[in-house]
Amino acid sequence: MSAFKVTMLASGSKGNSALISTGKQNFLIDMGISCRMLTSRLGEVGLCVEDLDAIFLTHEHTDHVKGLGTFTKKYAVPIYSSELTWRAILIKDPKIERRNCRIIGGALRCGEVEVNSFEIPHDAVDPHGYVLKCNGSKCAYITDTGFVTEAVRQAAEDADTLILEANHDVEMLKNGIYPPHLKQRILSTRGHLSNESAGYLLANLPRIPENIILAHLSQENNLPRLALDTVRNILSEASLFNDARIFVAAQDKIVKDY
């Protein structure tokens, strides 16, 4: 059984934040919700901000960093990102307190957990995903990814718990209301991962993760049921339909994998 428990506090284009816990330690990936919402959703799993050991940021887009200004005024929790991402965040919001800012170059040990960042292809200055390892378990966080690079595939390989973007259904996006330049951006190699691409990434792994959490679903260009069915169909066509537990993260409520 995975050493990690995941609670998706919020997931989607209006704000992202994932809580990853080992029992002893609690980490957030991204802080794209208000401080008030963070407090309230952590409360739903019996935690408060003081229980957080560290926060890791993937990139500077608003839906991943929105709550930082208020958060850093109130709390001293260390927040890690790449140097270039921090620069971009601080230009956008100079009110963020510098005392919280930490730079992660590659690997970092936080207590019993080893954290590694890896590059993802996305239209931000220096976007990264994260891999957390503890007691032989591996948890990978992959969202805001235009396509599956070798680094993305390696991050997902051997994960027991995988948080994976399933942003859009390609047909819904193409036929939807978004203006052409936005459709192009999302479909580009520095945009977002489709349901199908998420499914094929999973189908090509040597081992299907125990827990899969589909994340960052578009509210305009996707449906939770469609994302789930698309991924399940691809796995069953590849004769890989096993007992993996697949969850779909949501914007407006927490989703737990335990």
To Zn ion, the closest distance from the beta carbon of 64 in angstroms equals 6
Tell me whether residue 126 or residue 144 sits nearer to Zn ion (CB atom).
Answer: 144
Using the minimum distance from each CB to Zn ion, give the nearer residue, 147 or 258: 147
Using alpha carbons, select from 145, 148, 192, 199 the residue that is nearest to residue 173: 192
Q: Which is nearer to Zn ion, 61 or 66 (CB)?
A: 61
Beta strand residue intervals within the chain, DSSP E? 5-10, 17-21, 26-29, 54-56, 79-81, 101-103, 107-110, 113-119, 128-134, 137-142, 161-165, 211-215, 245-248, 255-256
Q: How far is the CB of 38 from Zn ion (least distance, A)?
A: 17
Q: Which residues contact 101 (CB under 8 A, 6 or more apart)?
A: 79, 81, 86, 90
Cα 116 from Cα 167, distance rounded (Å): 24
In angstroms, what CA-CA distances link 44 with 7, 48, 196? 10, 9, 32
Q: Which is nearer to Zn ion, 132 or 193 (CB)?
A: 193
Least CB distance to Zn ion at residue 165 (A):
9
Q: Which residue is nearest to Zn ion (CB)?
A: 61
What is the rounded (10 degree) CA torsion for 15, 100, 21, 35? -40
Strand pairing class (79-81; 54-56): parallel
Minimum CB–partner distance for residue 136 and Zn ion (Å): 30
- Identify which of residues 11 and 21 has a Cβ nearer to Zn ion in the complex: 11
Pick 144 or 160: Cβ nearer Zn ion: 144
Residue number, 135 or 184, with CB nearest to Zn ion: 184
Least distance from Zn ion to the Cβ atom of residue 15, Å: 9
CA torsion angle 38 43 49 54 (round to 10): -80
Using CB under 5 A, list all residues that contact Zn ion: 61, 63, 144
If you count them, how many residues does the chain have? Answer: 258
Q: Report the Cα 237 to chain-centroid distance in Å.
A: 27
3-class state of residue 56 by DSSP: strand
Six-digit token pair at 18? 């994932």
Min. distance of Cβ 99 from Zn ion in angstroms?
26
Min. distance of Cβ 216 from Zn ion in angstroms? Answer: 6
